[in-house]
Structure 1
């Protein structure tokens, strides 16, 4: 396949969804272009077209009027980048070939442990003052990449199989995602489901140690509290666009296992109000509370002061919209932006609560960064 295209890959189910040859690419680089782009997306959907691509994290500043004045400058990915397609093709995945070594290399975290500790202390002061009760503090990891975006994507598949893998090669830099987290899925009957992911533990070196790590995570009050905060936040967000009495939490604190870590996942489900536009859905839900903190707006204001550069595609949403109602977006974590100059950028972060420590949170961030190279990045 050749650009422009959007590829979604479910390694667990063993199939992918490919969008090729867009009739149009709808892109908003600036704040002034954002809402006209949202209108264009809605017109295309109502005209019977499929949409596929991504929203950058900073689009959330525009969807919330209180945050528009603090929209970060210096963004390197579009606020929204979506292709307009006739339909996708679905296919069964071939047996994966052995992973290619080294498509992402020379990785270095932008913050040293002391850099992180300084910002952690400022965030923790906000927690002590009651300004917020969780903040998802993140920072970039900068690396180099080689080959093509597709070869880089395929090289990472075997390292960490996920349900929501994606590669967007439309306009601007390519965006490669190995996300395990569902932002939301809307089915043909108008039911929406979201799977907030919060709480992690490293894999054990032996089977017995691995089981101990899973039990620890499942029963740890701190991780449960972090997860429950985000569940409550998402329940509130979804309630803005769902039918009264339909909201449910069918599952709390399920443990999912990946090659480098265990993570805690819950489920929130509701029946949507009829005839919602894409803009209204995103205005209620975006960005996902699992990557902001709570309360969402205040957490985003605080994080804007602490994080030196825009998150760009990281912590945004990658997905597709069908003309008949269903749509699915992942949370753009474990996501790498591949720039044409050979630079690769992927952020890492985690939820900070009152009883968090800077040392443990920074170590967790570096653990999460292993998805790209298989090793912890150099620091600072």
Structure 2
């Protein structure tokens, strides 16, 4: 891994937003990631900025000998290339299943400083500083839920019938909201969402006219040397209005047999997935049912780690583990078929994964949830939200959980 050679103080509070707007003018692709200083098990995203103009071919993405960074998205519907599955539901946007670029410009941030492998010129500093931030940004968009509450409740009952019949044990059923606009500011939307909901895997990603604005709390998969780490989230409860209520809610989640059962099923699924590419006997649950605080919710997170087989590569790891079990259910393949039958939309980038692959093959990928996906050319956006449906799930409570997860995004899109 290259060591950074140049360090500069961050000029002001708004400089990073100016940097993103500068990059939007000069690059077809860029990404900004921010871990928001979360004390997350195995660490959160580093606070970094990447920009470039060259989209990678699939051959370059899967190559283990590229020797350069790769930044981008694996869409949920890439599943169809890994298994005999299909995605026939209507798509809100035509999104590439694989969308990666290689950055020619990378910056690394700590609390006060910018680190760069190249010397930043006076022209660069002036161009960024001269960017004028809009006094009033347009983040409002009229959106509509794609299914009614009544249909949602009926669908949950249908999934529970599948569970009784033994077709699935747990299904992550998702609904979507969509809208269109004449003008919409994805950069402003990102910074607003991050202020409302600062998450450990916060991401702003541009791919030409298409954007991801993500406040994800969840890691899909991380590689550090020969070590693999998966961290499925299953189990959610709102934060309390005061310290006493907060403590009660945390304990309620921690002791919930229902939430533990959901989490355990996906933890077992991820253990099985990791075992396909890991040394025999190396897959271990490092933490089961950990409770972690976020701005609006507590989440139950389990951490599974393993030792990668010698010569194990990125392509084999994705083949074994994608999509992540937390967004499908168990058993994975049959449950994905049920999801396809019952959901009303093609997921696209939603519930796929965003990440960065380093030159040495290490990588870190998030789960694309709590995220807005937009296309400025066709002037449309959407987001999805879901929860795990089990036999003892209460349909009305599951609907309320979806509304809780959607709240921050709805506040951004309300434009208030």
TM-score normalised by L of structure 1? 0.88
Question: CA–CA distance in 2 between the matches of 1:374 and 1:74?
Answer: 26
Write the distance in 1 (CA, Å) between the matches of 2:260 and 2:140: 34
**Equivalent position of 2:32 in the other structure:** 7
Aligned-pair CA distance for 1:314? 0.6
Q: After superposition, give the CA deviation of every residue in 1:340-360 in whole Å (9 maximum; x if it has no partner).
A: 144321100000000002111
Partner residue of 2:275? 239
| Residue of structure 2 in register with 1:29 after alignment | none
Deviation at 1:109, TM superposition (A): 2.0
- How many residues matched? 359
Aligned to 1:356: 393
* Equivalent residue in structure 1 for 2:213, among 171, 176, 183: 176
Cα distance in 2 for partners of 1:291, 1:104 equals 28
- Pick which of 156-165 and 129-138 moved more: 156-165
8 Å Cα contact 1:238/1:285 also seen in 2: yes
Deviations 1:185-233 (A, max 9, x none): 101x210111110011112222211111110000000000000000000
**Distance across 1 between alignment mates of 2:317 and 2:351:** 17
Relative distance call for 1:185 and 1:104 in structure 2 (3 A) is: farther
Q: Hey, what's the Cα distance between the residues in 2 that align with 1:248 and 1:374?
A: 40
CA distance 1:123–1:156, change in 2 (3 Å): same
Who is 1:89 aligned against? 107
Mapped partners of 2:371, 2:148: distance in 1: 21
Per the alignment, in what secondary structure is the counterpart of residue 360 of structure 1?
A: helix
In 2, Cα distance between equivalents of 1:170 and 1:201: 34
User: Could you say if the C-alpha distance between residues 104 and 285 of structure 1 is closer, same or farther in structure 2, counting changes exceeding 3 Å?
Assistant: farther
Pair 1:21-2:44 in alignment: no
CA distance in 1, matches of 2:46, 2:155: 41
The 5 A counterparts of 1:105-254 are 105-143=141-179, 147-187=184-224, 189-254=225-290
Contact 1:109–1:142 (8 Å) recurs in 2:
yes
Give 1:46's aligned residue: 65
Q: Tell me whether 1:78 sits opposite 2:108 in the alignment.
A: no
Distance in 2 between residues matched to 1:303 and 1:63, nearest whole Å: 17
1:59 to 78, 84, 95: 78
Is the contact made by 1:139 and 1:349 (CA closer than 8 Å) also made in structure 2?
yes
Residue of structure 1 aligned with 2:382, choices 345, 348, 351:
345
Query: 1:171-196 CA deviation, whole Å, 9 max, x = no partner?
Result: 45211111010101101x21011111
Tell me if structure 1 keeps the 8 A contact 2:170–2:329.
Answer: yes
Partners of 2:90 and 2:357 lie apart in 1 by: 29
Distance in 2, matches of 1:342 and 1:252, equals 43
Residue number in structure 1 paired with 2:408: 371
Cα distance between partner residues in 2 of 1:165 and 1:273: 31
Asked whether 1:285 is paired with 2:316, we answer no
Which digits, 9 at most, give the CA deviation of each residue in 1:294-348, with x for residues without a partner?
0100110100000121011110000011121210100111111012144321100
Classify 1:274/1:73 alpha carbon distance in 2 versus 1 (closer, same or farther; 3 Å).
farther
SS in 2 for 1:215: helix
C-alpha displacement of 1:74: 4.3
Could you list the per-position Cα deviations for residues 86-136 of structure 1 after superposition, in whole angstroms to 9, with x for gaps in the alignment? 5632123579x9xx8872443432221101012112111101111110000
- TM-score normalised by length of structure 2: 0.81
- Taking the aligned partners of 2:110 and 2:143, their CA distance within structure 1 comes to 33
Name the structure 2 match of 1:299.
335
Q: Does the CA contact (< 8 Å) of 2:139 and 2:186 recur in 1?
A: no
Tell me if structure 1 keeps the 8 A contact 2:139–2:413.
no
CA drift of 1:276 comes to: 2.6
Q: Deviations over 1:45-89 (max 9, x none)?
A: 51311100101100012112x22xx23364421111000235632
User: Mind listing any 5+ residue stretches in structure 1 that lack a counterpart?
Assistant: 27-36
Equivalence for 1:32? none
The 1-side partners of 2:354 and 2:313 are apart by 17
Aligned equivalents of 1:93 and 1:143: distance in 2?
36
